[in-house]
């Protein structure tokens, strides 16, 4: 379908009318829709797997591990907790509000929401925010990625089969169509993607004072620190797995590794061994290995690798036809080089050596750059690691592990600054798509003149005494 500003406007207006009907407000309605969504994902698993392979070359196992399975878990968690999360909070009004005794905080939906999803995990990062918005009682317009065209078609088929467009609508197309959506007055915008595009999203949303949530990769990339006392084999195994996953096209992936130079050679040896063990020596010829999303993404990866060709110690080979580029280790890289000052979103892995006694310099560099979405630390000194993780600014992370912090139920997935605004997953997603409304219930009896004039003379003195007593 070819979209125009008029057709997008009509979709948004139809959703606003549907929201104003009040149909989405009941918990029973929301629960029913979430169950329909969950059932549709389960019923269309094979269609989603095929689409993920067509767009990104993901094997059925990786498609389920990283996209379909986590979506099922996410929706199921929301179904289990929704009734409790949506319950109004009851508060004592306090002496200053006498004779009122009760104040409630209602969890109100925003209204008509826009979810702009990315190409790298097109199922999870579309249906996860969608489920959160549905749970909060909103209607949803989904602007799916044009880069992952097969997945967008599959999602369109899936969602149009269970929801009317006045409740959930899927819009495909490029940046021009996204701008058509952003030109409309939404009540909430949820965008997942790059910091550069996020600035544009915020700017357009600001025209209507629309609140936004942003889940971004981080402008200067995510660091992984390997200290000299780390279990090198374990660290290499986990880092290799993660860098192979989706060919590095993951917002929380390791962008660069800082390794203590005292163990750098040993670590590099373990890392090479793990890449070979997990994917083979010719990953670009392995059909299980994912591919880069577009020819442009492949060329960018190849161009960057060529610029550091003399320091590639592993990989550096690709296949243009399949768009697969091997995991590529670049060593040594200085902490101030260009390659470690922006998000790579590819299988390239620069490794920065440092003296272990000078770890504070690496931490200072991380602290002074834009906040990453993730931070990973490998060390046997957990006291030091906890100190680092509790003082630096970043979205989330792991000690002696990678990525799986985002799979823990009940905790938020979020960024800060250039890595994002807001949070979601489970109850945090419900909160992101609701706004709290405080309502005090007053009384027509026993009202005192404390807040009323006169404020002078004896009456004023008594009121001042009572105010100082109550306002504590």
pLDDT score of 19 more than 80:
yes
Same-domain pairing of 199 and 336: no
Same-domain pairing of 274 and 403: yes
- pLDDT band at 449, cuts 50/70/90? confident
Contact 419, 427 (CB under 8 A): no
**Is 316 domain-assigned?**
yes
Percent of the chain with pLDDT over 90: 95
- The pLDDT of 203-231, averaged and rounded, is 97
At 351, list the tokens.
């490794």
Same-domain pairing of 372 and 262: yes
**Is 105 domain-assigned?**
yes
Kindly report, residue by residue over 131-178, the tens digit of the pLDDT: 999 999 999 999 999 999 999 999 999 999 999 999 999 999 999 999
**Is 414 domain-assigned?**
no
pLDDT score of 472 more than 80:
no
What is the C-alpha separation between 243 and 249, in angstroms, rounded? Answer: 9
449-453-454-460 Cα dihedral, nearest 10 degrees: 60
9-15-19-23 Cα dihedral, nearest 10 degrees: 160
Same-domain pairing of 92 and 191: yes
Is 251 in the active site? yes
Sheet of strand 89-92: strand arrangement: 89-92, 102-109, 434-440
Q: 215, 274, 302, 343: which one is catalytic? A: 215
Tally the domains of the chain. Answer: 3
Q: What angle do CA 252, 302, 55 make, to 5 degrees?
A: 60
- pLDDT band at 95, cuts 50/70/90? confident
Same-domain pairing of 37 and 144: yes
Q: 245, 251, 301, 398: which one is catalytic? A: 251
Can you state the angle between helices 27-43 and 124-135, rounded to 10 degrees? 160
**Is 190 domain-assigned?**
yes
**Is 76 domain-assigned?**
yes
The CATH number for 194's domain is 3.40.605.10
In this structure, which long-range contacts are made by residues 286-289, counting pairs with CB atoms below 8 Å and at least 24 apart in sequence? 286/324, 287/57, 287/59, 288/59, 288/62, 289/57, 289/244, 289/247, 289/324
pLDDT at 469: 87
The CATH number for 255's domain is 3.40.309.10
pLDDT score of 280 more than 80:
yes
Kindly report, residue by residue over 291-343, the tens digit of the pLDDT: 999 999 999 999 999 999 999 999 999 999 999 999 999 999 999 999 999 99
Kindly report, residue by residue over 102-115, the tens digit of the pLDDT: 999 999 999 999 99
Of 191, 197, 250, nearest in space to 215 by CA: 191
Kindly report, residue by residue over 2-13, the tens digit of the pLDDT: 899 999 999 999
Same-domain pairing of 275 and 227: yes
What is the C-alpha separation between 404 and 419, in angstroms, rounded? Answer: 18
Same-domain pairing of 206 and 255: no
Distances (CA, A) of 59 to 52, 54, 274: 8, 10, 19
Query: What's this model's pTM, rounded to 2 decimal places?
Result: 0.96
Same-domain pairing of 117 and 203: yes
**Is 385 domain-assigned?**
yes
Same-domain pairing of 32 and 177: yes
Q: What letter does residue 209 receive in the DSSP assignment?
A: T
pLDDT at 96: 85
**Is 318 domain-assigned?**
yes
pLDDT score of 204 more than 90:
yes
pLDDT score of 376 more than 80:
yes
Kindly report, residue by residue over 340-354, the tens digit of the pLDDT: 999 999 999 999 999
Contact 205, 184 (CB under 8 A): no
pLDDT at 136: 98
pLDDT at 111: 98
Same-domain pairing of 170 and 282: no
Same-domain pairing of 174 and 285: no
Same-domain pairing of 399 and 428: no
pLDDT score of 83 more than 90:
yes
Domain that holds residue 461: 442-470
**Is 207 domain-assigned?**
yes
Contact 247, 212 (CB under 8 A): no
């Amino acid at each position: 379908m070819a979209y125009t500003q008029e057709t997008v406007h009509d979709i948004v207006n139809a959703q606003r009318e549907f929201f104003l009907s009040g149909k989405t407000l009941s918990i029973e309605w929301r629960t029913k829709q979430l169950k329909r969504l969950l059932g549709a994902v389960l019923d269309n698993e094979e269609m989603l797997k095929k689409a993920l392979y067509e767009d990104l070359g993901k094997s059925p196992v990786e498609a389920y591990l990283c996209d379909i399975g986590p979506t099922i878990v996410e929706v199921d968690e929301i179904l289990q907790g929704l009734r409790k999360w949506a319950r109004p909070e009851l508060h004592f009004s306090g002496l200053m509000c006498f004779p009122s005794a009760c104040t409630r905080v209602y969890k109100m939906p925003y209204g008509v929401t826009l979810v702009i999803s990315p190409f790298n995990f097109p199922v999870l990062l579309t249906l996860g925010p969608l489920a959160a918005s549905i749970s909060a009682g909103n209607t949803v317009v989904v602007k799916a990625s044009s880069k992952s065209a097969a997945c967008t078609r599959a999602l369109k088929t899936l969602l149009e089969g269970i929801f009317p467009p006045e409740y959930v609508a899927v819009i495909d197309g490029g940046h021009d169509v996204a701008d058509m959506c952003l030109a409309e007055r939404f009540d909430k915008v949820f965008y997942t993607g790059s910091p550069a595009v996020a600035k544009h999203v915020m700017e357009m949303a600001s025209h209507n004072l629309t609140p936004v949530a942003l889940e971004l990769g981080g402008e200067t990339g995510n660091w992984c620190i390997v200290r000299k006392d780390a279990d090198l084999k374990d660290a290499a195994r986990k880092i290799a797995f993660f860098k192979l996953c989706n060919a590095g096209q993951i917002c929380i992936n390791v962008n660069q590794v800082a390794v203590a130079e005292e163990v750098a050679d040993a670590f590099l040896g373990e890392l090479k061994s793990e890449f070979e063990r997990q994917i083979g020596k010719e990953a670009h010829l392995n059909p299980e290995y994912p591919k880069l999303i577009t020819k442009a993404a492949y060329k960018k990866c190849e161009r960057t690798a060529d610029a550091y060709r003399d320091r590639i110690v592993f990989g550096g080979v690709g296949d243009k036809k399949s768009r697969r580029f091997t995991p590529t280790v670049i060593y040594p890289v200085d902490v101030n080089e260009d390659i470690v000052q922006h998000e790579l979103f590819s299988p390239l892995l620069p490794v920065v050596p440092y003296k272990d006694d000078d770890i504070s310099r690496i931490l200072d560099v991380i602290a002074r750059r834009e906040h990453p979405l993730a931070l990973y630390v490998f060390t046997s000194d957990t006291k030091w690691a906890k100190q680092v993780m509790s003082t630096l600014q970043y979205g989330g992370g792991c000690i002696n592990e990678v990525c799986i912090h985002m799979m823990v139920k009940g905790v938020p997935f979020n960024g800060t600054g250039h890595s994002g605004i807001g949070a979601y997953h489970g109850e945090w997603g419900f909160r992101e798509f609701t706004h709290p409304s405080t309502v005090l219930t007053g009384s027509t009896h026993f009202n005192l003149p404390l807040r009323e004039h006169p404020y002078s003379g004896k009456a004023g003195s008594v009121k001042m005494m009572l105010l100082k007593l109550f306002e504590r």
